[in-house]
Chains A and B, each alone.
Chain A
Amino acid sequence: MTTLFERVFVSVFGQTGRDFIDGLQRSSSSLSDFVYVKVFGLPFIVLGARQTGKTTLIEWMRHNLHELDSFAPEPTAPGGDSVPAFSARIGGEGMRLKPTRDVGGEYDMWETDWVELFRVAKPRGIIFLVDHTDVLAHKDALNFVMNMIDEEIEAKRNLKAFLVLVNKSDLWGGKLSADDLLHSYGNEVKRLKNQAARVGYQTWIVGGSVRDGVTDSGETLTASLRTFFNAIRPKPR
């Protein structure tokens, strides 16, 4: 969509004016991309029901996506913990990431900590974790997040991507596939895709293990995260 200024500028200067404006827009987009990716950090949030690995995922990213041998997560207390922006090497590129807070996944935290985090962070992306246990709790949590996106008009404005990570494939991978696990989530997946089309964000579902850093298809989890973070940067790649 062109502004009145652009139309006037192009009508006065013709093709040269158009090229100038296009160049200006490209430079501004590149500058914004640089500022987000290298300076302030890409705002994203990590949500999911309790015990799905949110704290471990954030810690793994903070450790530059290296294996977490000795990390022993604790249940995240009400209110969560602040996570300052940090740098990580995602698929060969150094990126500054800003998850804002690590929040717990208990039911009582959804209305309080999740909504508050969503409002404060105004994230460009959401990573939502589920695992092979307690399907009902994960479905409730996913539906809650989709409702929250619908209701929080201001906070969802920047949302560009929603990654569902079916975590802990090291525990379910031998017996099941991510598709088997997601069979029970038919309505939720359909709703997520509809919302993505309506709100204008991209969505993916990936099975994998944060502990091992791999997806259930044998690729590295880093590749999935690279796709996610490239989608939420101001100049998507």
Chain B
Amino acid sequence: MPTLTLDYVLEGRQRGYQFTSDTRGVAPDQLKLIWRNAIPRGSAWSDPAYRGARSLKCFTVDDAGAGSVAVCDVIGTDQVDEVGRTGIRRAVIQVMRYAEYQAFLRERLAAIPAAVIRDAERALYARNWDLLLKKHSNAVHSPLKPQTVFTDDYSPERWRFVEACLLLLVTRATVLTNLIEVTPKVNPFADRALSFTTLALDAREESRLVAIPAAKAAGLRGIPVVNLG
């Protein structure tokens, strides 16, 4: 399946965000979906704390048949545009079949040090009730597709732990996953692939599971958060 790059172009007639890779082979509707959703939401990416920050964002682009998922690896760049604006991000997007996607998630989780994963498992177990109750008190999202928002103090090192927490939940490696969403085998409304974003600066219009820095959580009204700290 194709790999797409969404980049900020600073030269030529048409500048700004655009796909810089060949988009042939991706259906127009899927391309639109990727365009709209690949880059995590929120502003203040120009804050020096988020320069070089990485986010993994995954969402379904085709639910039919074998299905496919967009896996977006996003990085905060140090690019500066013609009028001095910063906070520019770059996304490399791989469109994968569900089966490939599951393998990708397992590999990604396996790449995280075992000690970090153990901490993440402990943190999730300790928040069983938080996970269960808070997602259903989220006034913004539908009760059938509730969103769970995680927060922690941001630092690149700490976010390895946060990423481990989200990967554990989406790979259904723990019993806790069922507190997020019962498997599609039991729940007909469950997503085949639970969308998630490991770093966004705003939870609105974000994935079903999203992690945001604690400093950004203050601005979320009516959205309960699960603090991983």
Contacts and interface: CB of A to CB of B under 8 A. Distances in A.
22 contacts: A50-B15, A50-B16, A72-B46, A72-B85, A74-B43, A74-B88, A75-B85, A77-B89, A78-B6, A79-B36, A79-B37, A79-B41, A81-B202, A82-B202, A82-B204, A104-B17, A106-B15, A108-B14, A108-B16, A108-B18, A112-B35, A112-B36
Contact of B17 (A51, A75, A116): A75
Given A74-B45, A108-B19, 10 more contacts: A51-B81, A73-B85, A74-B43, A78-B6, A78-B35, A79-B39, A79-B41, A81-B202, A108-B17, A112-B32
Interface in B139-177: none
B43 A106 contact: no
Interface in B28-71: 32, 35-39, 41-46
B198 to A, nearest CB: 17
A106 B82 contact: no
A39 to B, nearest CB: 17
Interface in A17-60: 50-51
B64 to A, nearest CB: 22
B67 to A, nearest CB: 22
Contacts of B89: 77
B31 to A, nearest CB: 9
A216 interface: no
Interface in A58-77: 72-75, 77
Interface in A70-106: 72-75, 77-79, 81-82, 84, 104-106
A141 to B, nearest CB: 12
B36 A78 contact: yes
Contact of A74 (B18, B37, B38, B86): B86
Contacts, number: 73
B196 interface: no
B213 interface: no
A73 B43 CA distance: 9
A81 B38 contact: no
Contacts of B98: none
Interface of A: 50-51, 72-75, 77-79, 81-82, 84, 104-109, 112-113, 116
Q: Which 9 A-B pairs have the closest CB atoms?
A: A74-B87, A106-B16, A79-B36, A77-B39, A82-B204, A78-B35, A108-B18, A50-B16, A107-B14
A116 B35 CA distance: 13
Given A50-B15, A81-B202, A106-B17, A75 B87 contact: yes
A113 B36 CA distance: 8
A73 to B, nearest CB: 6
A218 to B, nearest CB: 26
A82 B196 CA distance: 18
Contacts of A109: 17
Contacts of B205: 79, 82
A74 B17 contact: no
A81 B39 contact: no
B85 A74 contact: yes
Contacts of A73: 85
A101 to B, nearest CB: 9
Contacts of A72: 46, 85-86
B202 A78 contact: no
A77 B32 CA distance: 14
Interface in B68-87: 81-83, 85-87
Contact of B82 (A51, A77, A104): A51
A75 B81 contact: yes
Identify which of B6, B38, B43, B46 gathers the most chain A CB atoms within 10 Å of its CB.
B43
Given A72-B46, A74-B45, A74-B46, A79 B85 contact: no
B188 to A, nearest CB: 28
